[in-house]
């Protein structure tokens, strides 16, 4: 396919590479061309506008930072909804508001376009290895049409139902993640205070009932002091705020998620918003 890709960041760059490996023709847009020189050298075609990248594309993938960025690239002047050709698949892989996903889908249908919300989980490692979990909302026929794209990017690919359901599933993921990563941090903090060899402790418990993706992938980074972002603290705060709003609309109590959000807000206030989520260990090292 000829695919437009909007948002070539930490995860987007690996996703562009994996799509090209499958023979897709990639047209990319990013605010700073220099930051995408490596994937341009590998064959991606850079454009200086969203409209330029989208023109003639059979599919358009977006993975940007915040809901306001999604609004801008879809609804802005010369945005995706105005520039995409009839019948194009529009796939927003940003973690954003379910309400916004529903709005994009409705306006896309009115213009003869097909829209899916398809947020992902797995971070920079999953993006690099094409092992992302992909949760998809929208019409099932559009999901099937997009399947070859998803199969180039991930392994656990699930149709979740109507527009917005991909985002609701990602909210559930982010809620569950909070408890998992905080639990890892607390286990490490306890082990240090008890005088244990922390790596031995992790090796012991990671194969039992306490084991998790966070323990296997984020705990080693914590121990090395590697806080490079596979997923930014500031973006996780955005996600938990969306989840809290959606939970509030449904009168669902989430005390653990609320406490984890407060921890991350404290990290951001201390200037750590651009670190990876594994930097939560810093909250326990005060």
pLDDT digits (tens, 9 = 90+) for 157-209: 999 999 999 999 999 999 999 999 999 999 999 999 999 999 999 999 999 99
Last residue of a domain, one of 143, 162, 181: 162
Q: Which token pair is 131?
A: 């092992």
Answer whether 83's CB lies under 8 Å from 111's CB. no
Could you tell me which residues are beta bridge partners of residue 26? 3
Active site residue 170: yes
Answer whether 172's CB lies under 8 Å from 99's CB. no
pLDDT for residue 10 = 87
Other CB atoms within 10 Å distance of the CB of residue 88 = 24
Last residue of a domain, one of 162, 188, 215: 162
- CA of 100: how far to CAs of 31, 67, 120, 187, in Å? 23, 8, 17, 37
Whether residue 244 sits in one domain with residue 156: no
Among candidate residues 13, 170, 238, 282, the one labeled active-site is 170
Note the pLDDT tens digit of each residue in 108-149: 999 999 999 999 999 999 999 999 999 999 999 999 999 999
- 116: domain CATH number is 3.40.50.720
Q: Which of 103, 36, 46 is nearest to 70 (CA)?
A: 103
Whether residue 217 sits in one domain with residue 127: no
Whether residue 150 sits in one domain with residue 23: yes
Look at residue 74 and tell me whether its pLDDT is greater than 80.
Answer: yes
Rounded-to-integer distance, Cα 131 and Cα 140, Å: 22
Whether residue 213 sits in one domain with residue 101: no
pTM: 0.95
Whether residue 149 sits in one domain with residue 7: yes
Other CB atoms within 10 Å distance of the CB of residue 52 = 16
pLDDT confidence bin for 40, thresholds 50/70/90:
very high
pLDDT confidence bin for 150, thresholds 50/70/90:
very high
Whether residue 269 sits in one domain with residue 150: no
Backbone angles phi, psi at 119, to 5 degrees: -65, 160
Note the pLDDT tens digit of each residue in 41-53: 999 999 999 999 9
Q: Which of 129, 165, 166, 125 is nearest to 277 (CA)?
A: 125
CA 146-152-157 angle, 5° bins: 60
Q: Crossing angle for the helix pair 12-21 and 140-153, nearest 10 degrees?
A: 90
Structure-token match 């709005």, residue found: 103
Answer whether 280's CB lies under 8 Å from 182's CB. yes
Whether residue 107 sits in one domain with residue 13: yes
Whether residue 234 sits in one domain with residue 127: no
Please give the residue range of the domain that contains residue 225: 168-285
pLDDT for residue 267 = 97
Whether residue 149 sits in one domain with residue 189: no
Number of domains in the chain: 2
Note the pLDDT tens digit of each residue in 217-271: 999 999 999 999 989 999 999 999 999 999 999 999 999 999 999 999 999 999 9
Structure-token match 């990319």, residue found: 28
Look at residue 286 and tell me whether its pLDDT is greater than 80.
Answer: no
Last residue of a domain, one of 162, 193, 219: 162
Whether residue 107 sits in one domain with residue 70: yes
Look at residue 153 and tell me whether its pLDDT is greater than 90.
Answer: yes
Assign 3-class secondary structure to the chain.
CEEEEECCCCCHHHHHHHHHHCCCEEEEECCCHHHHHHHHHCCCEEECCHHHHHCCCCEEEECCCCHHHHHHHHHCCCCHHHHCCCCCEEEECCCCCHHHHHHHHHHHHHCCCEEEECCEECHHHHHHHCCEEEEEECCHHHHHHHHHHHHHHEEEEEEEECCCHHHHHHHHHHHHHHHHHHHHHHHHHHHHHCCCCHHHHHHHHCCCCCCCHHHHHCHHHHHHCCCCCCCEHHHHHHHHHHHHHHHHHCCCCCHHHHHHHHHHHHHHHCCCCCCEHHHHHHHHHC
Whether residue 192 sits in one domain with residue 58: no
The arithmetic mean of pLDDT across residues 15-40, rounded, is 96
Q: Which token pair is 274?
A: 């651009």
């Amino acid at each position: 396919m000829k695919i437009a890709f909007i948002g070539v960041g930490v995860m987007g760059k690996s996703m562009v590479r994996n799509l090209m490996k499958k023979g897709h023709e990639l047209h990319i847009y990013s605010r700073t061309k220099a930051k995408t020189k490596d994937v341009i050298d590998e064959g991606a075609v850079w454009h200086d506008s969203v409209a330029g990248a989208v023109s003639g594309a059979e599919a358009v993938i977006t993975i940007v930072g915040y809901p306001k960025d999604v609004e801008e690239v879809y609804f802005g002047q010369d945005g995706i909804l105005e520039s995409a050709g009839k019948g194009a698949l529009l796939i927003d892989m940003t973690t954003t508001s379910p309400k916004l996903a529903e709005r994009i889908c409705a306006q896309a249908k009115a213009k003869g376009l097909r829209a899916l919300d398809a947020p992902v989980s797995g971070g920079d490692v999953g993006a690099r290895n094409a092992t992302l979990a992909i949760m998809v909302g929208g019409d099932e026929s559009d999901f099937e049409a997009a399947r070859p794209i998803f199969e180039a990017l991930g392994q656990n690919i699930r149709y979740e139902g109507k527009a917005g359901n991909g985002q609701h599933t990602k909210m559930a993921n982010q809620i569950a993640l909070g408890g998992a990563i905080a639990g890892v941090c607390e286990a490490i903090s306890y082990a240090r205070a008890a005088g244990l060899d922390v790596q031995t402790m992790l090796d012991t418990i990671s194969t039992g009932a306490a084991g998790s993706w966070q323990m296997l992938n984020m705990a080693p980074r914590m121990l090395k002091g590697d806080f490079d972002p596979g997923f930014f603290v500031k973006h996780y705060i955005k996600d938990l705020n969306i989840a809290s709003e959606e939970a509030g609309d449904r009168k669902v109590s989430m005390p653990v998620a609320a406490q984890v959000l407060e921890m991350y807000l404290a990290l951001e206030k201390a200037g750590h918003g651009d670190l990876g989520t594994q930097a939560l260990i810093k909250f326990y090292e005060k």
